[in-house]
């Protein structure tokens, strides 16, 4: 039997957001200092195309790390990046902005239904090192009763954590030449349409594929009213 705050699925007891209760050293690295030379961040939930957009920015001439600067499993090291795309930065945006107000934050969102389906994909509940519950639960409260509802809560609460510090917000599935030009303008930069289109040809992360999940399973969750309100708030 799973204890309080657990999900039992396929005979296995998992944590409330689907991860096993593995003991991990979650001391946060000195990432605030490590990011002092960055020009901008792309902050998002997991499974929202951060690897892809890191490739796009790198192709445009802005070396962009993916889950390196703020990764609690990696020691902060000297680097030559000018940007970072990750979920983990959402944990410390307040501190980043206070210490380095020159750093812009681009908030990247993914369609919430696709996000939940991806997190729940291939018959497993939330999985992947970037979604370790001990990291996430240091920064947000979770009270979901199942993995689908937990995925919904993560989308809402992590985006709500990022939003107050965002200088520009966009949907990854609608990230086009125009959106990139808006972000480039905020950086005081310009690129030709052809350059941006060529940069978009970077390999897309498998996590952006569309997993199958009946939307009625999402709508039947007791958390759906809050999820729906957040979708509207973020333009979905």
CATH code, domain carrying 190: 3.40.50.300
Where is mean pLDDT largest: 15-29, 38-52, 67-81? 38-52
As a whole number of angstroms, the distance between CA 3 and CA 15 comes to: 9
Structural domain including 77 reads 28-233
Q: Is residue 8 one of the residues assigned to a domain?
A: no
Prediction pTM value: 0.84
What is the domain count for the chain?
A: 1
Q: Is residue 172 one of the residues assigned to a domain?
A: yes
Q: Is residue 97 one of the residues assigned to a domain?
A: yes
Q: Is residue 9 one of the residues assigned to a domain?
A: no
More confident residue, 121 or 189: 189
Q: Is residue 208 one of the residues assigned to a domain?
A: yes
Q: Is residue 110 one of the residues assigned to a domain?
A: yes
R_g of the chain, CA atoms, integer Å: 18
As a whole number of angstroms, the distance between CA 18 and CA 37 comes to: 36
Q: Which residue has the tokens 């983990």?
A: 88
Question: Does 6 have pLDDT greater than 70?
Answer: no
More confident residue, 202 or 117: 117
């Amino acid at each position: 039997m799973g204890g309080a705050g657990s999900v039992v699925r396929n005979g296995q007891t998992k944590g409330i957001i689907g991860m096993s209760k593995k003991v991990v050293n979650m001391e946060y690295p000195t990432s605030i200092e490590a990011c002092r030379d960055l020009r901008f961040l792309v902050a998002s939930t997991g499974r929202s195309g951060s690897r892809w957009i890191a490739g796009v920015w790198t192709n445009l001439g802005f070396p962009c790390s993916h889950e390196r600067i703020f990764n609690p499993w990696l020691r902060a090291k000297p680097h030559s990046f000018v940007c970072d795309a990750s979920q983990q930065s959402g944990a410390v945006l307040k501190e980043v902005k206070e210490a380095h107000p020159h750093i812009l934050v681009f908030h990247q969102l993914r369609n919430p239904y696709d996000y939940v389906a991806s997190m729940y994909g291939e018959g497993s509940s939330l999985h992947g090192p970037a979604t370790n519950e001990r990291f996430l639960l240091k920064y947000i409260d979770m009270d979901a009763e199942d993995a689908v509802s937990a995925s919904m809560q993560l989308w809402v609460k992590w985006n709500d954590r990022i939003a107050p510090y965002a200088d520009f917000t966009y949907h990854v599935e609608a990230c086009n030449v125009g959106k990139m030009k808006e972000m480039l303008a905020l950086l005081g930069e310009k690129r030709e349409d052809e350059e941006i289109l060529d940069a978009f040809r970077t390999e897309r992360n498998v996590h952006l594929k569309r997993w199958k999940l009946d939307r009625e399973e999402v709508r039947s969750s007791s958390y759906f009213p809050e999820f729906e309100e957040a979708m509207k708030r973020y333009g979905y």
